[in-house]
Amino acid sequence: MGTIMNLSEDPASSIANRQIAVQVVRRSDVRLAIKAVFDRIIGLAGSIVTLFFIPFVALLLKFEDGGPIFHRREFVDSDGQLRHYLKFRTMLVNADQILRDNPALKKQFDHKYKLPDDPRILRFGRFLRKYSIDEFPQFFSVLTGRLTFVGPRVISQEETPRYGKLLPKLLSVKPGVTGYWQVMGRQKTTYAERIKMDMFYIDHWSLGLDFIIMAKTVWKVLRADGAC
């Protein structure tokens, strides 16, 4: 999938400057080509479904709080750049400010970068999360090649220090919409276990593993086993 050859500077400080210089050698591998084809097919199909959802989500969010339909989320791309992808908004418009103004809540969030009973989530937002509908706009990024459908977790700039020396390895591949952690652990795991799962996926990647993760993802969606 990719081998890190050289880092020009410390990952944490480089990310702080909005870029990390990573030189990656890509293998010429038919498996990667097949994965890319599947990404385009899945990205196209998912984008079409997302377009169908947009007017309904927009209408329901308008009734609940009148805020925007999309949440623009920042992430660290595989080339070290800070970029964005879209999700359907599931939280209050001032969700970030609420977190900053509540030290106890912020401390709890910083532990796992998740809140089990997040008070910032809208009523309709819980429905979107339960059925993973909030994730659908990410298919636009899969279609354009910014994200892959199956890959390591998408991480924010604030999360990069947690990976330490493993950060270059994480950034050697594209982040995914779904992945090993999402189907094997999710809310039940510690952050350290998430990192181990990311590394396991990178070390053991194969088309077969991707297909297993895809199947488990579909099963979780059908069971309404999304993140709440």
pLDDT per residue as tens digits for the range 65-85: 999 999 999 999 988 899 999
Give, in order, the Cα–Cα distances in Å from 82 to each of 30, 48, 142, 144.
29, 26, 17, 16
Give, in order, the Cα–Cα distances in Å from 131 to each of 29, 52, 122.
35, 15, 14
User: What pLDDT score was predicted for residue 40?
Assistant: 97
User: What pLDDT score was predicted for residue 227?
Assistant: 61
pLDDT per residue as tens digits for the range 17-76: 444 444 444 445 889 999 999 999 999 999 999 999 999 999 999 999 999 999 999 999
175: Cβ–Cβ under 8 A, 6 or more apart, which residues?
75, 76, 77, 78, 147, 148, 151, 152, 153, 154, 155
